[in-house]
Amino acid sequence: MKIKSSIITFCFLISISGSAQEDAVQKHLDLYRYDKDVLSNEFTKDRRDALRNLMVDNSVAIICANPIQNRSNDVNFQFHQHPNLYYLTGFTEPNSALIIFKSPVLYKGSYTDEILLLQNREPSSEIWDGRRLGVENVKEFTGIRAAESIRNFKLSEINWSNFNEVNYEAANVMLDKNRKVNEDLNDFKVQLTKLLRKRKINATSNKLNNFFSIIREVKLSEELTFLQKAIDITCSAQIELMKALKDSMAEYQTEAIVEYIFKDQGAEYPGFPSIQGGGENSCVLHYTSNRKVLHNHHLLVSDIGAEYRGYTADVTRTLPVDGVFSEEERIIYNLVLKAQNAGIRKAVAGNPFRSTHEATTEIIADGLLKLGIITDKKEVRKYFMHGTSHYLGLDVHDLGTYGPLQVGSVITVEPGIYIAEGSDCDSKWWNIGVRIEDDILITEDEPINLSKAAPRTVEEIERMMLLPSKF
């Protein structure tokens, strides 16, 4: 009887301590990540399988985290995970790497086709930089099959003679200044490079880039949800800017309005530095210093994109500071709009990637010729000097094959005309820079404009600019 009751007590204690452990894991996970709408483990598993399907037999792929970049002295730039690693795991910590095997390999007594290497939990670091997930929680969190501390991981635990091919982005060893914060990842890369050299194993990065271009080009529904959210936030920011823009506002103040909306609506950060180019800066394609004070006769090119759960929008609107386009501005604006509409019509599955650019270029060349701004269509590049489309996704210029357009991919259509002061044409056109950019989903059918919520025609913009602003 005595024995029986102590067995019951023992089992009871085990079950209490089991559930106490589960509670502790759950508590840690709750404090580790507050956002609930994140890439699901089913999605990231599916993406790892997609990569594995492209890999040849007897091969391995190694995908490393981005390094932490030092800004100066004790301050680092905000860490941003490498999109390829994020896409396959949803994991956002530095000092990590993912190893994907084409077929399961023996690792520490069991078979696995993947291992996520990550930094250890360390109270002394976490009190400064925030909570880490830790090997003990990462499987539950990401659904990854095997995980190991990057510091403790021994390359010798894997039988490398199994592999004919190692897909790996060449080692990118950090500057001395960054060595400490990137120590674990650096050490891993150094060990790996030594091993590959010693075993005369050829590591190739080209194929890995191609694999990611193939799998990231077409967006799955979870990705489209996040991309649409990023685009909706960005359209709201353009709308608030239209309402708020007025004489004597500085470019940095227009940037502040836009980025306030990004943060206020839950975006993590801008997906790229916000371009707020007014007056002569409307003709600088990637202007980002944003220090000029704007006045009523200026046009403002606002090229912005919120990043939401890793996915970034990219929407450009061009606005007259006083709320009304001048005669010349309206002519150039409507020419760019006409070109953009023609480009969007070409954003159809099966069309060559360049078809949007060919359509916009033809219309802009024809229009500039008729206006006497150029004397030969070949001169169009003087005033429209960039491409019309790029893929959009985890990167603003996202990966893709640039083959025929595919259903489920998202591209931008963004023609522009930029007539800088001193250009070889009538001075009435000088300092007019116009770009209009929308994010277009390729479907089985008609293209879908995901950013149509932001006013786009002259009339729509002028009407929106009349509305009161909360800023």
Q: Which residues sit at the interface with ligand GLY, rule CB under 6 A?
A: 272, 303, 314, 396
In the complex, what is the shortest distance from the CB of residue 306 to Mn ion, in angstroms, rounded to a whole number? 14
* Binder of residue 251, out of ligand GLY, Mn ion, none (CB less than 5 to 8 A by kind): none
| CA torsion through residues 205, 210, 214, 216, sign | positive
In the complex, what is the shortest distance from the CB of residue 56 to Mn ion, in angstroms, rounded to a whole number? 35
Please report how many Cα atoms fall inside a 13 Å half-sphere around the Cα of residue 188, on the Cβ side. Answer: 27
CB 106 within 8 A of CB 177: no
Q: Which is nearer to ligand GLY, 374 or 396 (CB)?
A: 396
CB 67 within 8 A of CB 97: no
Q: CA dist 88 to 57, 98, 188, 240, 439, Å? A: 20, 9, 20, 35, 24
Span near Mn ion by CB under 5 A; candidates 26-34, 152-160, 311-319, 344-352: 311-319
Return the SS3 of 130: coil
Q: Which is nearer to ligand GLY, 269 or 272 (CB)?
A: 272
In the complex, what is the shortest distance from the CB of residue 265 to ligand GLY, in angstroms, rounded to a whole number? 19
* Binder of residue 119, out of ligand GLY, Mn ion, none (CB less than 5 to 8 A by kind): none
Q: Which is nearer to ligand GLY, 184 or 303 (CB)?
A: 303
Q: Which is nearer to ligand GLY, 165 or 314 (CB)?
A: 314
CB 410 within 8 A of CB 439: yes
Please name the residues in contact with 424: beta carbons below 8 A apart, sequence gap of 6 or more.
382
With CB under 5 A as the contact rule, the residue among 114, 314, 395, 398 that binds Mn ion is: 314
In the complex, what is the shortest distance from the CB of residue 412 to Mn ion, in angstroms, rounded to a whole number? 4
In the complex, what is the shortest distance from the CB of residue 449 to ligand GLY, in angstroms, rounded to a whole number? 17
In the complex, what is the shortest distance from the CB of residue 414 to Mn ion, in angstroms, rounded to a whole number? 5
Q: Which is nearer to ligand GLY, 222 or 303 (CB)?
A: 303
- What is d(CA 63, CA 88) in angstroms, rounded to the nearest whole number? 9
* Binder of residue 471, out of Mn ion, ligand GLY, none (CB less than 5 to 8 A by kind): none
The candidate with the shortest Cα–Cα distance to 353, out of 434, 409, 271, 417, is: 409
Q: Which is nearer to ligand GLY, 240 or 303 (CB)?
A: 303
In the complex, what is the shortest distance from the CB of residue 247 to ligand GLY, in angstroms, rounded to a whole number? 26
Return the SS3 of 395: coil
Please name the residues in contact with 191: beta carbons below 8 A apart, sequence gap of 6 or more.
155
Positions in 402-421 near Mn ion (CB under 5 A): 412
Q: Which is nearer to ligand GLY, 181 or 394 (CB)?
A: 394
- What is d(CA 283, CA 278) in angstroms, rounded to the nearest whole number? 8
Q: Which residues bind Mn ion (CB under 5 A)?
A: 314, 412
